[in-house]
Amino acid sequence: MSKGKLIVISGASGVGKGTVLGLMMQKRSDLLFSVSATTRPPRPNEEDGVHYYFITREKFEDMIGRGEFLEYDAHAKNYYGTPRAQAEEKQEKGHVLLDIEPKGAAQVRKAAPDAVLIFIMPPSMEELERRLRGRGDTPEDQIAIRMERAVWEMEQRSWYDHVVVNDDAQRCADEILKIISD
C-alpha cells in the first residue's frame, strides 16, 4: 500500500474538532488519529496515549533537541507537538488526521507539501464562546485568552486548502470526508 495522506484539521478551541474527527473516523476505518504530545495536564476525560501523550517539559525539550517532532508549537503556556515516528507509522496503515493549530500546520506544509490542510470555522463568534463555556473544561480566566487566540487562528484560514463551517457536526464531518476522497 502506498503511504497515506497527512490531513491537518485546525480550528479554534471549542469549534468542535474532536466531535467532527470522531464522526469521520466512525465512517472510515482507514483514518487514524495522530496522538500529539503535550506538557499540559490531562482533563478529566482524557487518557494518556489516546487523546495525548502527557509528558514533562523536560522530556518535550529533549525530543525537540533530537528532532523527534514533525512539528511543534508552544501556546497557552504549554508545548504541543506531533511525534514524527508515530505519524509515519500510521501513514503506513492509512490516512493520518492531525488536530493541530496553524503554526504547526505551516510546519507540516513545509515538511510534507502534499498534506491536505482543512480549517473548521464556527457559525459565529458568539456560538464559539457559548460552546467553549458549555464544554465546562476551560477555566473562566482562560476563556478570554482562548477567544483572543481564536481571532488570530481564524485569520490564518486564508492559506488553508479548504475552509468548512461546523454548523452541524455530522454535516461538517461528511463535507470533510468528501474533500479528502476527491
Give the burial class of 145: count Cβ atoms within 10 A of its Cβ; 0-12 exposed, 13-18 middle, 19 or more buried: middle
- Asked if 99 touches ligand 5GP (CB under 6 A), the answer is yes
104 binds ligand 5GP (CB under 6 A): yes
Burial class (CB in 10 A: 0-12, 13-18, 19+), 94: middle
Q: Is 40 in the site for ligand 5GP (CB under 6 A)?
A: yes
Look up residue 42 and give its amino acid. Answer: P
Stretch that binds ligand 5GP, among 71-79, 116-124, 162-170, 172-180 (CB under 6 A): 71-79
**Per CB under 6 A, 36 contacts ligand 5GP:** yes
- 17 contacts: CB under 8 Å, gap ≥ 6: 9, 10, 11, 99, 120
Task: Scan for cell 500510521, then name that residue.
Answer: 90
Q: Is 36 or 166 the residue whose CB approaches ligand 5GP more closely? A: 36
From 16, 39, 73, 157, residue interacting with ligand 5GP (rule: CB under 6 A): 73
Q: How many residues does the chain have?
A: 182
Choice between 5 and 103, CB closer to ligand 5GP: 103
- 129 near ligand 5GP, rule: CB under 6 A: no
166 binds ligand 5GP (CB under 6 A): no
Q: Does 84 bind ligand 5GP (CB under 6 A)?
A: no
Element (H, E) at 27: helix 17-27
What single string gives the DSSP state of each residue in 41-68? PPPTT--BTTTEEE--HHHHHHHHHTT-
Kindly tell me which of 3 and 40 has the beta carbon lying closer to ligand 5GP: 40
The footprint of ligand 5GP (CB under 6 A) covers 13, 36, 40, 71-73, 80-82, 99-101, 103-104
